[in-house]
Structure 1
Amino acid sequence: MSSQKADVIANRDEPIPVVSVTGPDDRSGTASGVPTPSTQDGSRRYLSASKLKDKLQSLGDNFDRQESPSRVSDRLFTMLLQQVLPTQDYDDDDAPAAKDRRSRTYVDRPGFSLPVMSSNFRRFNARIGVAFEFQNRAIRLFTWRQPTQTLSFLATYTFLCLNPYLLAVLPLPLLLFFVMVPAFLVRHPPPPSNLPTDLYPLSGPPLAAARTVKPAPELSKDFFRNMRDLQNIMEDFSRVHDTVIAVFTPLTNFSNEALSSTIYVILICTSVLLFIFAHLLPWKFIFLVTGYAATIAGHPAIQDLLSTDSAKTIMSGKEHETRSLLINLSKDIELATAPEHREVEIFELQYRPLYLSSPHSSHEYEPHTFSPSPYSPTSPARIAGDRPKGTPFFEDVQPPRGWRWADKKWTLDLLSREWVEERCVTGVEVEIEGERWVTDLWYEAVDDDGEGSSAGSPPKGKGKWRKGARGSKGTEDMGERPSRKGEWRRRRWVRGVERVPVGNVNE
């Protein structure tokens, strides 16, 4: 009984020992930035995997002579966690562009801390024993260790399948017979002199203290049993996870697009049929047969039969036939193999210096940059005074990542007026013939007294301004009216690209 057990070794009221964590620039720590405990002479000690068992035994045997149990457990789990810490520090800021729902951007949760991890692991391991006890009972039940218990389970399962409304009643009997009745028996134990035929004494005062669920004491036998079970369940989960990934991922990740498309069509058709006819299916019989089949499959005789070579050969043959059937069905599905086509643009920018005293200077436009933006007079980069970004040579223009050139050369966009109007570009004049240049307009400042001064672009301050060519418009033909050209001019080039297949990403 719990009242007769020894007191808990760990004192939960004491503060948890803190483990110092070094920064990334501290060379004295390990690769993960967490130093191991130091010896008396100041040297560092590291725990290898081969010495882990000996370390656990030595700590369990000598903790009463060396230091307090809380300090021993803290040292132990600090060294255990150090063995599994990654050598590289992963931060959310360095995460890729893909959405990560576990990132702190989406969920505000405390960050990783080695002392907190050690404390939480010890608290979790001390309280997880009830889950492992339930797991062991389930294993004993479904492996037919006691056939009477398994048959009783099948009888109860039959009642639940035939009368599903009993599911609402099931939690109450479980609470009564597995929680409250054992708790009452602890408070009112039978006297030792009672014979098996005597009635259980239900009257009288309680003879024992009420049972209280306590966590397993640290460094106790139950504590290390929980660690053993936790180790084994992690291995079981890893195996199940790898098996599921190996079986279902090739069928559903479209590595074989025809096969995955066939499964997709089958699932869509099945979903539609179930949505319409699900109420007509005998669900009671389906669940009854499925439960009986799963329970009978756990019988040792059935397991021995399934583990024979002939049974494995038959199961492998059935699996091969099913996969062959799906592959044959996938041959009737035609997939579009032509890559996706798009059109990309680049703007050829030319520049000439503009002298305020002589806007009609004889300086000609010179090639400057091939830029992804037109660098219009009202663009944010132009207003901020930034120079246009790009490459000075046409040959250096590269397709977007994941795409390749579909056309052999660039083509001049002859519809210069259209792209100017689409971008709402103002302060320019457009050539509708010839080389299709879109040139900045030169502006002339007019003072309050009527005298003018020259400038290259519309002002931001006070004063009146007028265009160098009176009456000219932003999208007017250069041949219709005389105009004064500004510093920059540009024209648009286009070229077709196609998406690169997966096997040719490096092209």
Structure 2
Amino acid sequence: MSNEQSNSFVNRETPIPVVSVTAPDASRGPTPSTQDGSKHHLSASKLKDKLESLGDNIGRPESPSRVSDRLFTMLLSQVLPSQDYDTDTQASVKDRRSREYVDRPSFSLPVMSSNFRRFNARIGVAFVFQNRAIRLFTWRQPTQTLSFLFVYTFVCVNPTLLAVLPLASCLFFIMVPAFLARHPPPPTNLPTDLYPLSGPPLAAAQTIRPAPELSKDFFRNMRDLQNCMEDFSRVHDSILSVTVPLTNFSNEALSSTLYLLLLFTSVLLFITAHLLPFRFIFLLLGYTLTILGHPFIQDLLTSDSTMQLVEEKQHESRSFLLNLSKSDITLATTPFPREVEIFELQHRPLHLTSGEYEPVIFSPSPYAPLSPSRIAGDRPKGTPFFEDVQPPQGWRWCDKKWTLDLLSREWVEERCVTGVEVEIEGERWVTDLHYEVLEESDGGKGKKAKGKERGRDQEREALRKTWEMHRPSRKGEWRRRRWVRGVERVSVEAT
């Protein structure tokens, strides 16, 4: 083993099975045969050829990092899609992990494989901490667990020790082992005077290096990472199986009852939290969790009688909440109706003062004279037929047909629409007003104002003819009226 590997941070205590690939040896007997009688063996040369074939240059040996990079890339390319779902703009639910909210690099198979190898080579220290925590809380060495309880007791009694705890941990768990690595203690069979602590260091300083790729520690990290993913999945599924049915309002009465209980408890704690003995609570909680990890307690908890008792208590508590929700919570079963509107727009050119208005469109806005779209010169948006008007998304019609709004003056006043004429009888049209363009005087000579368009002259001529025929008209080119119809929410059962 090289010096670099010997100084690296070895983070495992248990061996891992190793497959050795060697050339066939005649002294060891014949090679095992398959069922069809043919002999197969995996030689070192064949394995080398397989690994070299993954590279760009066939026949040229590659480094272990390059080979592992290609192996991970090939593996991920088989199971991961090539489409980038991070730029999906048609999603109905906001994804806070999208690049629209946080600017992060896009997904890439080479980057994924490289980052996984780097992460796996450096994650060993976390698994060492995990293994030591498991040994501590499972009472593998009772003296260590009791020592932890003593320290935890001091911290709970005097919480100011939390400021000292990180520094003390750095001294005893990082610097002291590093010093002992350079000044190792003397063997028991030799006198202590031969190993003075004040003398020169007897070993090199311990360094923490990533586990070399394709080494034992590298594959042990992969093993522990695999087990951690399984543990996280089990805990995640267990928590969701308990909390989701209670909080996702699939049973609205049960979730409403739980919501009220949490609300009242939050209000009560907001008032009385300063009266609670938090030191005793944390002390009792720590001792309880530590004692639950004892093998004797674990055997009691995993027994059939205990599991049956827990299931019965869980069933009783759920039944209590269900009965409480049925007796105290009343939910509205009928959807509350709402009213939607549509405006029927008709148009007539200004120069046709005696012509009829022609139907144009059914629009969600009244297209008032001073509306932003009207000022900008945009055409009204909508559908030309009544049958094409659809209810809002998630709603359905509860009325059979549209009803004309007879209170046209009210919706005009609510929207502060000006420059219109309102019919309070008849068809309830709200028509634009066309104001006559007066001629401006210029020094008393009766000259027309300069800069007037030819269209203005035609409008004045049309109005003049109307006045001469004793049929005054001030109606503009657009008119509209409001139609309403009831809608109701579409329930899950209806969909």
2:330 maps to 1:334: yes
Aligned mates of 1:111, 1:238 — CA distance in 2: 25
Counterparts in 2 of 1:274-285, with a 5 A limit? 274-285=269-280
2:296 maps to 1:301: yes
Q: CA deviation at 1:237?
A: 0.8
1:162 corresponding residue in structure 2: 157
1:399 corresponding residue in structure 2: 391
Counterparts in 2 of 1:96-495, with a 5 A limit? 96-191=91-186, 195=190, 201-331=196-326, 332-352=328-348, 354=349, 356=351, 359-361=352-354, 363-382=355-374, 386-442=378-434, 449-450=447-448, 455=455, 482-495=472-485
**3-state DSSP class of the match of 1:94?**
coil
Conserved? CA contact 2:350–2:477, under 8 Å: no
Mean alpha-carbon deviation: is it higher for 232-241 or for 150-159? Answer: 150-159
2:492 maps to 1:502: yes
2:16 corresponding residue in structure 1: none
Conserved? CA contact 1:125–1:226, under 8 Å: yes
Aligned mates of 1:61, 1:162 — CA distance in 2: 63
Aligned mates of 1:319, 1:88 — CA distance in 2: 45
Instruction: Report the residue type matching 1:503 in the other structure.
Output: E
Q: CA deviation at 1:238?
A: 1.1
Q: 1:193 to 1:389 in 2, by over 3 A?
A: closer
Q: CA deviation at 1:384?
A: 5.3
Aligned mates of 1:95, 1:487 — CA distance in 2: 40
Q: CA deviation at 1:128?
A: 0.7
Instruction: Report the residue type matching 1:495 in the other structure.
Output: R
Instruction: Report the residue type matching 2:252 in the other structure.
Output: E
Aligned mates of 1:224, 1:355 — CA distance in 2: 84
1:5 corresponding residue in structure 2: 5
Instruction: Report the residue type matching 1:153 in the other structure.
Output: F
String of CA shifts for 1:262-311, please: whole Å, max 9, x gaps.
11111122222222222333333322222222122222222222222211
Q: 1:206 to 1:122 in 2, by over 3 A?
A: same
Aligned mates of 1:202, 1:371 — CA distance in 2: 91
Q: CA deviation at 1:500?
A: 2.2
Aligned mates of 2:158, 2:47 — CA distance in 1: 57
2:59 maps to 1:69: no
**3-state DSSP class of the match of 2:150?**
helix
**3-state DSSP class of the match of 1:404?**
strand
Conserved? CA contact 1:2–1:211, under 8 Å: no
Aligned mates of 2:220, 2:292 — CA distance in 1: 29
String of CA shifts for 1:235-258, please: whole Å, max 9, x gaps.
111111111111001111111111
Instruction: Report the residue type matching 1:392 in the other structure.
Output: P
Conserved? CA contact 2:429–2:480, under 8 Å: yes
Mean alpha-carbon deviation: is it higher for 496-505 or for 63-72? Answer: 63-72
1:13 corresponding residue in structure 2: none
Q: 1:381 to 1:159 in 2, by over 3 A?
A: closer
String of CA shifts for 1:124-173, please: whole Å, max 9, x gaps.
11111000000011111112222222222222222222332222222222
1:16 corresponding residue in structure 2: none
1:53 corresponding residue in structure 2: none
Conserved? CA contact 1:188–1:207, under 8 Å: yes
| Structure with larger RCO (C-alpha < 8 A, sep 6+) | 2
Conserved? CA contact 2:343–2:364, under 8 Å: yes
Conserved? CA contact 2:186–2:195, under 8 Å: no
Q: How many aligned positions are there?
A: 439
Conserved? CA contact 1:60–1:219, under 8 Å: no
Q: CA deviation at 1:216?
A: 1.0
Higher helix share: 2
- Give the RMSD, CA atoms, in angstroms: 3.5
String of CA shifts for 1:312-367, please: whole Å, max 9, x gaps.
11110000011111112212122334423322111112234x374xx334x42333
Unaligned runs of 5+ residues in structure 1 are 9-56, 471-480
Aligned mates of 1:279, 1:308 — CA distance in 2: 40
Task: Answer with 1 or 2: which has the greater Rg.
Answer: 2
Counterparts in 2 of 1:22-41, with a 5 A limit? none
Aligned mates of 2:190, 2:177 — CA distance in 1: 20
Q: 1:287 to 1:430 in 2, by over 3 A?
A: same
Q: 1:341 to 1:466 in 2, by over 3 A?
A: farther
Instruction: Report the residue type matching 1:324 in the other structure.
Output: S
Instruction: Report the residue type matching 1:487 in the other structure.
Output: E
**3-state DSSP class of the match of 1:66?**
coil
Aligned mates of 1:167, 1:326 — CA distance in 2: 40
Instruction: Report the residue type matching 1:161 in the other structure.
Output: C
**3-state DSSP class of the match of 2:200?**
coil
Q: 1:193 to 1:310 in 2, by over 3 A?
A: closer
Instruction: Report the residue type matching 1:482 in the other structure.
Output: P
Scaled by the length of structure 2, the TM-score of the pair is 0.78
Q: CA deviation at 1:233?
A: 0.7
Conserved? CA contact 2:353–2:473, under 8 Å: no
Aligned mates of 2:205, 2:50 — CA distance in 1: 33
Conserved? CA contact 2:86–2:98, under 8 Å: no
**3-state DSSP class of the match of 2:493?**
helix
Conserved? CA contact 1:442–1:468, under 8 Å: no
**3-state DSSP class of the match of 2:101?**
coil
Conserved? CA contact 1:413–1:494, under 8 Å: yes
2:34 corresponding residue in structure 1: none
Conserved? CA contact 1:350–1:366, under 8 Å: yes
Conserved? CA contact 1:340–1:498, under 8 Å: yes
